[in-house]
Amino acid sequence: MIEGSCKAYNRELDPMIKKIFTEYRKTHNQGVFDVYTPDILRCRKSGVLTGLPDAYGRGRIIGDYRRVALYGIDYLMKDKLGTVHFSAG
C-alpha cells in the first residue's frame, strides 16, 4: 500500500523502511494465517467457514469464524454438508 502511494506521488520509498516492514514485521494476514490450524485452513478453503479475519480484518462483515468456538468444527462441517446438494453432472 505504501509503495503504491509513493509511486502515485512520484516519491521513492526509503529502502530501510521497506526492509524493516518486509523482513521484521508481519502483515495482518500473515499473523492470522500463522495461528490457523490445518483444520481451519481446510474449512476456509472448502467454504465451510466464511468471513474469516484474513479477508475481513476491517470489520466489514461479521464472519462464521466465531461459530467455531461456539459449535466446534465437527458440528459446522456436518451442518454444512447437510445443506450441500451434489449433482451428477
How confident is the model over 39-88, as pLDDT tens digits?
888 888 887 777 666 665 555 545 566 777 888 888 888 887 877 666 55
**Overall domain count for the chain:** 2
Mean pLDDT of 3-18: 92
Domain assignment of residue 10, yes or no? yes
pLDDT given at position 88: 55
pLDDT given at position 30: 84
* One domain for residues 13 and 41: no
Domain assignment of residue 31, yes or no? no
* One domain for residues 15 and 45: no
Domain assignment of residue 76, yes or no? yes
Q: What is the CA radius of gyration of the chain?
A: 19
* 66 vs 88: CA distance, rounded Å: 34
* One domain for residues 46 and 73: yes
pLDDT given at position 12: 93
Ramachandran region, residue 4 (left: φ > 0; alpha: ψ -120 to 50; beta: rest): alpha
For 80, the domain range is 36-84
